[in-house]
A = this chain, B = another copy of it.
Amino acid sequence: MHDTFGFLVALISILFFAKIFGEIALKFGQSAIIGELLAGVVIGPSVLGLINVNINETSVLTSILTSLAELGAIILLFEVGLSTNIKEFLKAGGWAATVAVVGVVAPYFLGYFVFLCFGFTSTQAIFAGAILTATSVGITARVFKDLNRLETKEAKIVLGAAVIDDVIGLVILAVVLKLVQGGKVTPGMVASISGTAILFLALSVAAGVLIAPSLFNLVSKMKQSHAVFVMGIVFCFIISALSTKIGFDPIIGAFIAGLVLSTIKQKEEIKRDVKPIYAFFVPIFFVLMGTKVDISTFNPFVVANREILVLMAILFIVAFVGKAISGFVVFKKDVNKLLIGISMVPRGEVGLIFATAGLENNAFREKEYSALVMVIILTTFIAPIMLKYLMTEQKNS
């Protein structure tokens, strides 16, 4: 029978601690998102144990919370897309592409090299490198949003780069999965995966911009309250669902849907109604990500932890530097290069998806998987703190 009590208790813990820790983070001058991630650590299995969402576990509650977190990530990127000016976003395209390519190539080879040095096979090293290529646009977008910086040049380059990054990431993941499954990787296959991805992006933006205005003029004639908002969400879910069909993460589709709807007349109405939905769903995403941190792995007094801690530390440096340098290829005078580089650092959910695929396909054992997950989480923790610092400094100068 369905456990309503357990479900409600989980939601209560997530939302209550998210708000309390978010408030504490604000008091210390941090972004609320750090508080929400910490709330996850505290209510997660390694401290209070109120929430236990293990990737390998298949309990019903886990599935439900994962789905709600997924909606949180989708709504986050939808809102970010809605707040983006599509023309300026496309203008940033050239630099965004450059940042994305460097931000993929550098961490890939660094990660590959580190894994080889630690004695892993070349297939494992390729997979590890692939995992480090991901960028979590969710985290960065949230920090920019929390600090009211979505309209800056840096934000546009970073958001563009993150989307392009995910397209490249998708291609890499497909190729790498083929490799570990023992298949043959042909140039034709790589071309076909890349082609599909780019075609989807271009077609959905073009079709959306052509169809959405007249569609929503029709919807705005509906008499039911909040019909425009609900149909906006439906539109977002449709593009998100389509993007999963071609192998993208659904949040890419959500961002595109937001971009498209940012061009219609009813944009403000949708933005207004999305806010409470955002306040409900988005913290679930960040808190759940925090619960995946097992702080006992960080204990250096346990001898068995030490080798993996060293691997973790080196991987973290590599993951950080590999992305941070990507900002410095933007040869423009009036942008903060370091800010762009750091913005690309968080791996977040995309990295976790990659790592989980690696575990499921037996590319790694639990131990290396843990190290990779920790690195992903560390990048996710440190970037918002540094970004907040950089942006406040920029404002004061």
Asked if residues A23 and B280 are in contact (CB atoms below 8 Å), the reply is no
A240 lies within 8 A of chain B by Cβ = yes
Residue of B nearest to A16 (CB): B234
| CB proximity of A52 to chain B, nearest CB, Å | 16
Residues of B within 8 A of A11 (CB): 237
Stretch at the interface among A202-210, A268-276, A375-383: A268-276
Q: How far, in whole Å, are A18 and B231 apart by their CA atoms in the complex?
A: 10
Asked if residues A8 and B244 are in contact (CB atoms below 8 Å), the reply is yes
Asked if residues A7 and B229 are in contact (CB atoms below 8 Å), the reply is no
Given contacts A4-B70, A5-B245, A60-B60, whether A15 and B250 have CB atoms under 8 Å apart is no
Asked if residues A67 and B2 are in contact (CB atoms below 8 Å), the reply is yes
Asked if residues A9 and B241 are in contact (CB atoms below 8 Å), the reply is yes
Q: How far, in whole Å, are A24 and B26 apart by their CA atoms in the complex?
A: 47
Chain A contact residues, majority secondary structure: helix
Residues of B within 8 A of A222 (CB): 19, 23
Q: How far, in whole Å, are A5 and B277 apart by their CA atoms in the complex?
A: 21
A196 lies within 8 A of chain B by Cβ = no
Copies of this chain assembled into the complex: 2
Residues of B within 8 A of A67 (CB): 2, 7, 64
Residue of B nearest to A245 (CB): B5
A227 lies within 8 A of chain B by Cβ = yes
A147 lies within 8 A of chain B by Cβ = no
Chain A: number of interface residues, binned into ranges: 35 or more
Interchain CB contact (< 8 A) of A274 among B5, B7, B250, B276: B276
19 A–B contacts from the bound complex (CB under 8 Å)? A1-B360, A2-B67, A4-B70, A4-B241, A4-B250, A7-B70, A8-B240, A8-B241, A16-B231, A19-B224, A19-B231, A22-B224, A23-B224, A23-B227, A60-B60, A226-B276, A230-B283, A277-B277, A277-B280
Residues of B within 8 A of A8 (CB): 237-238, 240-241, 244, 250
Beta-carbon contacts under 8 Å, A349-368 to B: 360
Residues of B within 8 A of A230 (CB): 15, 18-19, 279-280, 283
